[in-house]
Amino acid sequence: MHEAPIDEATLIEKARAGDAGALEALVRRYMDDVYALALRILGDGDQAADATQNAMINAVKGLSRFRGDASFRTWILRIAANSAKSLGRRRTRRNEVALTLADNVAGEDADPATVATNRAEAERVTDLLRQLPPKQRMAVHLRANQGLSYAEIGEILECSEGAARVNYHLGIRRLRELTI
């Protein structure tokens, strides 16, 4: 018999009370989203991993300040965006994009043809996204890849819902121009 999954509000409450298991469950729950966003911002797997670790530590340190005004996912993604941008500003070499999204596509257990198609598609998308300004790139990723609403994207990018919508659509329009 399986245990019922613990709802997020309970996990947060327990984590804030010092429950290590609850805190680790929260970290595990958002690891993929945080890493994916960091990878889109930084374009490098190793740096995205560092940014993910920084973001998770910052989230743990700041958990007592989470008031629940936004969703926990939005809150932690905002921390992730800031951690990745901060790391990006600190990097000294500008041409070290060695590991790209193409090395991190899901479906490695699928058949070889599917894996090859996913890799090729992911590589193409990564190359295209790299040509967008940062806010458009993040808005496109958060909307198309993580399925966030414009209001949530606005909270993460620290802009209005309308600006998030415009950034997404400008980004998509630019990507379509690039693919013609």
Partner 1 sequence: MTELVCAWVRDRLPPRSRDGLDVADAARLEQHLAGCADCRAEATLVGALAVPVTVPPELESHVLRAVRKQPALANGAGGIRHYAVAASFVFALLTGSLLWQQFGARPSPATIDGAVEAVLALPVGADALLHESGLQSLSEDELRTLLEELGS
The residue among 1 and 153 lying less far from partner 1, judged by its C-beta, is: 153
Say if residue 148 is exposed, middle or buried (CB neighbours under 10 Å; 0-12, 13-18, 19+): buried
For residue 39, state whether it binds partner 1 (rule: CB under 8 A): yes
Evaluate whether 133 touches 166 at the Cβ level (below 8 Å). Answer: no
Cα–Cα distance, 103 to 83 (Å, whole number): 22
Residue 23 touches partner 1, criterion: CB under 8 A: yes
Pick 38 or 155: Cβ nearer partner 1: 38
Contact assessment for residue 169 and residue 135, using Cβ atoms and an 8 Å cutoff? no
- From 126, 134, 124, select the one nearest 170 (Cα to Cα): 134
Region from 68-76, 78-86, 140-148, 156-164 binding partner 1, contact rule CB under 8 A:
140-148
- Looking at residues 87 to 106 of the shown chain, list those that interact with partner 1 (rule: CB under 8 A): 101, 104-106
User: Quick one: which of 2, 4, 5, 20 contacts partner 1 (CB under 8 A)?
Assistant: 20
- The reply on whether position 172 binds partner 1 by CB under 8 A is yes
From CA 54, how far away is CA 51, in angstroms rounded?
5
Are the C-beta atoms of residues 74 and 155 closer than 8 Å to each other? yes
63 part of the interface to partner 1, by CB under 8 A: yes
Which residue type, as a one-letter code, is found at position 12? I
Q: Which residues bind partner 1 (CB under 8 A)?
A: 17-20, 23-24, 27-28, 31-32, 35-36, 39, 45, 49, 52-53, 56-57, 60-61, 63, 101, 104-106, 108, 118, 121-122, 124-125, 129, 140-141, 143-147, 169, 172, 175-176, 179
